[in-house]
């Protein structure tokens, strides 16, 4: 498939065939139609720690769509409670679409298993994917790098969509409608960035990819070592091989290479 197929229009819905080579095969079942919301109450949850943003999105959906924000969280405590609530509120008959800001309060990460410093939205989506399978997550962020899109849609995190905060609300509505029908949604201008990240990541081994993912999430060398159950020196040796493979010399250059 040629890249220009992905770039038509101002947005892009990825079908099962298209997403298979872009991310992984975790969507094989979800894209067959499981969890379709037509005929059901159109319910949204929002994890956003900025009140103006949260209230603005809530009001816009109520005014311009059939969707309603029925659940919201703006603090660490509210996010923890909402994750627990969605475990039983989101069902196959009445699923929920969750809108999650990647940069939700950083201290949230410390309260969740394997939290990622600075990008707690990833941890929220990871928890929802594990505990509430009928909550489908869309991540939105001011970060528009391919590495963030790649990480959000990965099996490790589990989001079904990614929208930039620079887009207007109608883009978010298109993402919600697509994910509600079992599609994976990524804005078209982010597709080329994700493909470039995929190209870079393809030269790494499985363990090297895990290390790079940790760096994208903001983990330190010590934190990556702990998560992978190896020594810090082992991670540093792997990083040396990673740098050599793509012709760079530092973690900062790796982050720049991945487009953050």
Instruction: Let me know: does 37 contact 181? Beta carbons within 8 Å.
Output: yes
Q: Give residue-wise pLDDT tens across range 112-158.
A: 444 444 578 988 999 999 999 999 999 998 877 788 888 899 888 99
- Better-predicted residue by pLDDT, 149 or 111: 149
Q: Looking at the predicted structure, is the pLDDT value of residue 251 above 50?
A: yes
Phi and psi of 133, rounded to 5°? -60, -20
Q: Give residue-wise pLDDT tens across range 22-62.
A: 444 443 333 333 444 444 589 999 999 999 999 999 999 99
Q: What is the mean pLDDT of the chain?
A: 81
Give first-to-last CA distance, the chain, whole Å: 26
Q: Give residue-wise pLDDT tens across range 167-224.
A: 889 999 999 999 999 999 998 888 888 888 888 888 999 999 899 888 877 788 999 9
Q: Read off the pTM.
A: 0.72
Q: Give residue for tokens 């020594």.
A: 231
Q: Looking at the predicted structure, is the pLDDT value of residue 110 above 70?
A: no
pLDDT of residue 109: 47
Distance (Å, whole) CA 173 – CA 158 = 20
pLDDT of residue 68: 96
Cβ count near 181 (within 10 Å): 14
Q: Looking at the predicted structure, is the pLDDT value of residue 163 above 90?
A: yes
Residue 202, token pair as written in the block? 């393809």
């Amino acid at each position: 498939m040629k890249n220009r197929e992905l770039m038509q229009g101002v947005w892009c819905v990825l079908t099962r065939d298209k997403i298979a080579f872009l991310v992984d095969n975790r969507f094989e079942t979800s894209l067959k139609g499981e969890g379709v919301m037509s005929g059901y109450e159109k319910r949204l949850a929002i994890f956003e720690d900025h009140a103006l943003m949260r209230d603005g999105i809530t009001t816009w959906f109520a005014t311009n769509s059939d969707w309603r924000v029925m659940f919201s969280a703006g603090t660490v405590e509210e996010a923890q409670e909402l994750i627990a609530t969605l475990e039983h509120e989101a069902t196959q008959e009445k699923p929920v679409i969750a809108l999650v800001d990647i940069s939700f309060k950083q201290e949230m990460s410390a309260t969740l298993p394997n939290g990622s410093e600075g990008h707690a939205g990833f941890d929220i989506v990871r928890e929802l994917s594990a505990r509430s399978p009928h909550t489908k997550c869309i991540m939105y962020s001011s970060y528009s790098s391919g590495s963030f899109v790649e990480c959000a849609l990965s099996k490790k995190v589990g989001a079904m969509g990614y929208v930039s905060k620079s887009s207007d609300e109608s883009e978010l509505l298109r993402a919600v409608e697509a994910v509600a029908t079992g599609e994976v949604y990524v804005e078209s201008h982010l597709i080329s960035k994700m493909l470039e990240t995929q190209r870079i990541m393809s030269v790494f081994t499985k363990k090297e990819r895990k290390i790079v993912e940790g760096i994208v999430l903001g983990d330190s060398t010590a934190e990556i070592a702990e998560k992978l159950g190896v020594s810090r020196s082992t991670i540093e040796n792997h990083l040396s091989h990673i740098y050599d493979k793509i012709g760079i010399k530092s973690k900062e250059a790796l982050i720049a290479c991945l487009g953050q």
